[in-house]
Structure 1
């Protein structure tokens, strides 16, 4: 049966407008750690007369398409994005155009929003989402989804994109973290599969043996940015630590879990096991191939990096080791589609996001699956799409199967902390890892800063 005009299969029609979040403070949209853009300026700039017509397409800022070069992987991802938009445009009066924006966490995006020129649709990471929600920037997507579709997304991963039962961004992927290791380096150091680290003590001991044998060591990120925090969180969670607790009303950072994770990252540098600057310009494939590193914490995306750059290199993947008495944990990263609540046509922008990633028809399920197993190498954010991708053989390979079956089930969604909380945690990591800071002192200092901030914080739930 053909769809009604302006409507695509798999979606409810939706209302004529979307409900906006209330009582939010805009905390700044740029990647600057303490910078902020005032909410009144944002609202006055973005509200009012901005509208779009079919001849004035909505802009979708993304870092995939149009393809910036002819790399096959880049082209495959761009093709998926272009096909998604083309399918929408063929069935809808309101057109959409893709705009290539290499760094969506940059000041370019913040400046665009503050000037009233923000994109109608854009990609967003969980690390940024609290700022956008608190700034009243994200359109609600729930009215354009069936409850079946909402429930199809994995709840732990979706939680950071929601306020209560309302959805404000839809994930296109799940990217769990693990440890990658070089089998040739292990062999050169006289290590076998039986020596793979299962505990933090094992990780220190194995890394020491690798370095002593002249092999590369263990790589953790050392640059101060959101990615470093993202990679560090699972180590804290394994020991029971939290950044915020008590429903988001106070800090949980001054804890054994946080102190232990800070100490682990400090010790690997102090012992000469982790370099202060990641080798080969932070390229895991080159580092393994050239012997600059033997163990590297990275995400599922690195599978495709090896396929593309060194398809014959022999590497393995294991879950993150745990401390004594701890529990396995990883973090679930990944980008999401979001619609600008104050854009030129928020309703159609929101409906596009829901259609592209939240349709329950066969095409919608396959679309999400194909992004995760063809264009990329990810875990699907939806049960139906994960099942589809599994039936299609997307997880038959050794490493993809391990991520799906063993690593992903231990994951938690990436937190959505505002810049002040992010900065307190980041400063503690940096001090301990690179500046000789004491883990207990730094955990206490960060906790004090977080508690001070939470006393006046008004915004989305952070727990």
Structure 2
């Protein structure tokens, strides 16, 4: 699998590089996304769709080159976008996560947005929000949000075993011990992601970083996975299942609302987006949020996810597309800042902002008055590190090790060594953007 992924990535880069400009005077700019136009009538999804529509309508009313949103699901986009770029028919504007960044950056199809931005706007972005969307001095994607991870918990289940909210676990061992005690029958103590994929890796990285370990050393660009820290993090995920703290399948089919309302789970690792999810869909359910506990003596760290808007450098009109993206997410215009802030407000998406100006707007509106959002903003977000932009082969090496230890009971040391060898082999011939 790792070998075929490497071939796919290399071939993809070559194909992406072959995309040609297809400018025409009246052709609208296609904007592939999974928000708008909303295909459902759920009020929250409609609000998110309307936010996109407002930004697009504002642009279209003032510019000859129009923007046309194209809705598709996340899975559809993942499948269609590489094929579309390879055939020279990629979207003009699109959303990507850090995990997909290098696929397109290394292929040379991302437009540098720096020339379209004021320095004040560049400086307005929080450093970690832009970290994995930059190459050198260039900025190739503008993040619309930051999505930190945390532990959500059910205080009623904790109180049933005599645990007050002031006595929440503060390190790995306390967490595993309490989660094991709380696991009985249909109730589980700690829900960790068990399905292989970029998302599971995303949820694993904070525990790895808490040890001081990493996958790739940011400075040397050498793999450092065969080390004490990575082995300890793998062991944590393996022990969680082996000791009965974590189930092999997530309760309620992975739905935290269903699990919490049915009291199937005491602790659940997830992101800030589930604050809004629980409040909208289970308004009477009490829940709490706490930072991911580190190992004893370790450092509190979380991972920051989130989506960015990118522009196809070989699209219909890259200049107009870049100006549109910057006008929505990278401008110091007050209306633009207010609209960007609205996206992250609890009434629309409920994420953490990626810019200081939008954070200030939300703070002035008391958007963080809710205790859950206050904890995310004040206690969790400052400890965040950007989700890595690892290409498929790097992601797969980590994923294979994690799956083997977590679900097959493999030895963490052996799996860390195996992953290290895979990473070393890949990086011997890798040529592309830095792996951070």
Q: TM-score range by the shorter chain?
A: over 0.9
- Deviation per CA, 1:178-217: give whole Å up to 9, x if none: 0000112112233221331110011011102212597432
Partner of 1:298, secondary structure, is: strand
Change (3 A) 1:33 1:386: farther
**In the alignment, which residue of structure 2 is the partner of 1:63?**
34
Name the SS of the counterpart of 1:375 in structure 2. Answer: coil
Residue aligned with 2:8, SS: coil
1:113 aligns with 2:85: yes
| Superposition deviation, residue 34 in structure 1 | 6.5
Deviations 1:309-350, CA, capped at 9 Å, x for gaps: 101100000000010121000011000100011111111111
**Distance in 2 between the 1:33 and 1:174 partners?**
29
The alignment partner of 2:61 has SS state of: helix
8 Å Cα contact 1:157/1:414 also seen in 2: no
Q: 2: distance between equivalents of 1:201 and 1:115? A: 52
Aligned residue for 1:398? 371
Change in Cα spacing, 1:410 to 1:34, as seen in structure 2 (3 Å) is: farther
Q: TM-score, normalised by structure 1?
A: 0.90
Instruction: Give the structure 2 partner of residue 200 of structure 1.
Output: 172
Unaligned 5+ runs, structure 1: 1-26
The answer for the alignment partner of 2:129 in structure 1 is 157
Does residue 1:432 correspond to 2:412, yes or no? no
Match of 1:357 among 304, 324, 329: 329
Whether 2:61 is the aligned partner of 1:90: answer yes
Question: 5 Å matches for 1:172-187?
Answer: 172-187=144-159
- 1:410, distance to aligned residue in structure 2 (A): 0.2
Contact kept? 1:424, 1:449, Cα under 8 Å: yes
326, 329, 332: which is aligned to 2:301? 329
On the 8 A contact 1:241/1:256 being kept in 2, the answer is: yes
Count of matched residue pairs: 432
Shift of 1:248: 4.5
Q: 1:201 to 1:111 in 2, by over 3 A?
A: same
Given that 1:175 and 1:299 are in contact with CA atoms closer than 8 Å, whether structure 2 keeps it comes out as yes
After the TM superposition, list the runs of 4 or more consecutive aligned residues in structure 1 that deviate by more than 6 angstroms.
none
Q: In angstroms, what is the RMSD of aligned CA positions?
A: 1.8
Output one character per residue of 1:52-86: Cα deviation in whole Å (capped at 9) or x when no partner: 334x2111000000011000110010000000000
Q: CA deviation at 1:39?
A: 3.7
Match of 2:272 in 1: 300
Normalization by structure 2: what TM-score? 0.96
Task: Determine the structure 2 residue equivalent to 1:385.
Answer: 358
The structure 2 residue matched to 1:257, chosen from 225, 229, 247, is 229
